[in-house]
């Protein structure tokens, strides 16, 4: 039994039902080892397969692994059985922001505090190439300290989803919050569409009702397309100016997040601690492991890395049928999203070191070297400090080495760009096989 005595895979205690949708139920849970409260999202695998939502489920896992931010609900790990998929997530005790707004409009300073946190979270998501596409008060949760957390990335899109015209083309979201360009089905910038939704949310916080509302959905879409709305008389002039620039029906002239953050109304009472980037290691780590393990046996990660046979790409949902339960976290993270990658090489250690020194010189990075360990360190301060990359070389034999490359400091997106544009192409001639990728020899 997968939940014998309400215990999930000997790791989590399943508690009361917190909420449910068409394909998923969310339960309160507790980590048996640490006692930490968690939310457990249980997805019916058969139902999502039947309606073709497996790719959407994979994307949600991948996206939540990318956006580690204090104002985004964290995904700790993903587990599965033959019939169920489980998201183990941060438990946010305070419930939906929607329930607060449903009681009436909020005070200006409270609305501003929530809006500041929302913009910080959305800005971070966009910096990671993630567009939420369904921002609304129901998807904004509050913890016991009143900290806002963005949730439900089921309709999110990655930058890689764009077509050749650089735009997204899937019409999605909740009608009242959707940007005009999404309704018009002409392709849209996911970032600009999210900004529009943030503007609708700010209006609701301050007014207590929607800016665009009509019992006839066609009429409502017409109002959205032309940005037909009226400010209540209690809206201050600086709020009106800001909202007029956010709820601009033309995405080309719509205000950017950077400009929102510079506005006088937004900056009022802004706590510098609110403007934060990635989440550090607190309690459980967000999705980041690359080893699959079940409840009855574990795979030695060292043995997995050093195996000299051709690496194999595993399909997570095919694997589920082979055992009673797996930790699937690492299977949904693409190589360009990982902060740590490994490759094997048939070159000598001195040749490998020499190659990394050449790359560092080309990138104008400093090099620190010590017995098979190297650190490549940039000179310019980035979004999250100076970018630094650690390289460790393990000797299997004199002519066969395992090389581990991982980010040790700086911004994840900068590291991913460097890995994709510089490191991987430059290392091509010395790499025998990248771990976790199919090779054809």
Closest CA to 64 of 188, 161, 169, 150: 150
Q: How many CB atoms lie within 10 A of CB 194?
A: 27
Separation between Cα atoms, residue 20 and residue 221, nearest integer Å: 29
How many residues can be counted in the chain?
A: 441
The answer on whether 41 is annotated among ligand-binding residues is yes
Sequence-ordered list of residues with C-beta below 8 angstroms from that of 61, at least 6 positions apart, any chain: 75, 78, 87, 287, 328, 329, 332
- Residues β-bridged to residue 382: 385
**396 close to 372: Cβ distance less than 8 angstroms:** no
134 assigned to active site: yes
**Rounded-to-10 torsion of CA 313, 316, 318, 322:** 110
Please report the DSSP string for 310-352 in residue order. PP----HHHHGGGSS-EE-GGGGS-TTT-SEEEEEESS-HHHH
Helix (H) or strand (E) holding 116: helix 108-127
Separation between Cα atoms, residue 126 and residue 141, nearest integer Å: 19
- Residues β-bridged to residue 85: 43, 80
Sequence-ordered list of residues with C-beta below 8 angstroms from that of 235, at least 6 positions apart, any chain: 206, 207, 243
**434 close to 311: Cβ distance less than 8 angstroms:** yes
> Which candidate in 123, 134, 194, 411 is catalytic?
134
Separation between Cα atoms, residue 210 and residue 200, nearest integer Å: 7
User: Phi, psi (5° rounding) for residue 44?
Assistant: -80, 110
Radius of gyration from C-alpha coordinates of the chain: 24
**337 close to 322: Cβ distance less than 8 angstroms:** no
Scanning 128-187, the segments in alpha helix (DSSP H) are 180-183
**8 close to 40: Cβ distance less than 8 angstroms:** yes
Say which residue the tokens 């991948």 belong to: 62
Separation between Cα atoms, residue 169 and residue 173, nearest integer Å: 12
Binding site as annotated, residues for ATP: 41
| Residues labelled as active-site residues | 134
């Amino acid at each position: 039994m997968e939940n014998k005595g309400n215990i999930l895979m000997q790791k989590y205690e399943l508690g009361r039902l917190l909420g449910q949708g068409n394909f998923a139920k969310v339960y309160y849970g507790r980590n048996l080892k640490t006692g930490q409260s968690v939310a457990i999202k249980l997805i019916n695998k058969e139902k999502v397969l039947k309606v073709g939502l497996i790719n959407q489920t994979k994307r949600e896992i991948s996206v939540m692994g990318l956006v580690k931010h204090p104002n985004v609900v964290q995904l700790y790990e993903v587990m599965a059985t033959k019939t169920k998929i489980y998201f183990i997530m941060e438990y946010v005790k305070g419930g939906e922001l929607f329930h607060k707004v449903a009681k009436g409009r909020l005070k200006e300073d409270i609305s501003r505090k929530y809006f500041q946190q929302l913009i910080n979270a959305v800005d971070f998501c966009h910096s990671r190439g993630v567009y939420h596409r369904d921002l609304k008060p129901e998807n904004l949760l509050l913890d016991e300290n009143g900290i806002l957390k963005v949730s439900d990335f089921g309709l999110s899109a990655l930058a890689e989803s764009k077509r050749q015209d650089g735009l997204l083309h899937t019409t999605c979201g909740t009608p009242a919050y959707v940007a005009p360009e999404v309704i018009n089905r002409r392709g849209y910038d996911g970032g600009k569409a999210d900004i529009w939704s943030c503007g609708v949310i700010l209006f609701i916080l301050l007014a207590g009702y929607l800016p665009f509302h009509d019992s006839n959905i066609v009429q409502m879409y017409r109002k959205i397309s032309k940005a037909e709305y009226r400010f209540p008389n209690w809206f201050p002039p600086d709020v009106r100016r800001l909202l007029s620039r956010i709820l601009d029906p033309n995405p080309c002239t719509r205000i950017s997040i950077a400009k929102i953050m510079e506005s006088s109304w937004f900056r009022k009472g802004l706590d510098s601690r609110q403007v934060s980037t990635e989440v550090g290691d607190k309690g459980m780590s967000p999705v980041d492991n690359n080893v699959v393990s079940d409840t009855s046996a574990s795979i030695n990660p060292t043995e997995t890395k050093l195996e000299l046979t051709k690496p194999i790409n595993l399909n997570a949902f095919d694997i589920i049928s082979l055992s009673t339960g797996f930790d699937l976290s690492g299977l949904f993270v693409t190589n360009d999203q990982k902060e740590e990658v490994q490759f094997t090489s048939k070159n000598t250690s001195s040749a490998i070191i020499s190659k990394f020194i050449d790359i560092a010189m080309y990138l104008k990075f400093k090099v620190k070297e010590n017995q098979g360990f190297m650190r490549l360190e940039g000179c310019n301060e980035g979004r999250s400090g100076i970018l630094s990359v650690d390289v460790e070389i393990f000797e299997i034999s004199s002519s066969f080495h395992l090389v581990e490359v991982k980010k040790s400091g700086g911004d994840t997106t900068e590291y991913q760009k460097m890995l994709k544009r510089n490191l991987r192409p430059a290392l091509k001639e010395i790499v025998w096989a990248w771990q976790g990728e199919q090779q054809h020899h």
